[in-house]
């Protein structure tokens, strides 16, 4: 699966969770889906940033500049409620 497909996958998950949050009654279930939507949205955003950096890296290489494109390993997961970091506290 390429990075573009992964970004789209997480954008879709985020949209689905936002919809479930909208449909859920107020309370813990709604909060859960809102947090999950935010998490997936951030992951998709990170993939988009990597894609942009890779494109910039390729453009720089064509201009004779050196630059190392970002890789999927450089993605950072932002801590949100419900993430592993938050559960560990």
pLDDT-derived band at 77 (thresholds 50, 70, 90) equals very low
Residues 60, 66, 69, 70, CA torsion sign: negative
- Beta carbons within 10 angstroms of residue 47's beta carbon: 21
Q: Say if residue 15's pLDDT is above 90.
A: yes
Task: Identify whether 81 is part of a domain.
Answer: no
Q: In this predicted model, what pLDDT tens digit does every residue of 25-72 receive, in sequence order? A: 989 999 999 999 999 999 999 999 999 999 888 755 544 444 444 444
The tally of domains found in the chain comes to 1
pLDDT of residue 56: 87
Nearest-5° angle of CA 17, CA 20, CA 24? Answer: 140
The domain of 19 spans 3-74
Report yes or no on whether pTM surpasses 0.85.
no
pLDDT of residue 72: 46
Task: Identify whether 85 is part of a domain.
Answer: no
Instruction: Tell me which H or E stretch contains 43.
Output: helix 28-62
């Amino acid at each position: 699966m390429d990075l573009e497909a992964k970004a789209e996958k997480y954008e879709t998950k985020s949209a689905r969770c936002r919809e479930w949050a909208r449909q859920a009654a107020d309370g813990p279930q709604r909060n859960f889906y809102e947090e999950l939507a935010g998490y997936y949205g951030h992951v998709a955003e990170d993939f988009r940033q990597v894609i942009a950096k890779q494109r910039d890296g390729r453009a720089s290489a064509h201009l004779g500049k050196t630059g190392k494109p970002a890789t999927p390993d450089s993605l950072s997961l932002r801590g949100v409620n419900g993430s592993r970091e938050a559960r560990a506290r």
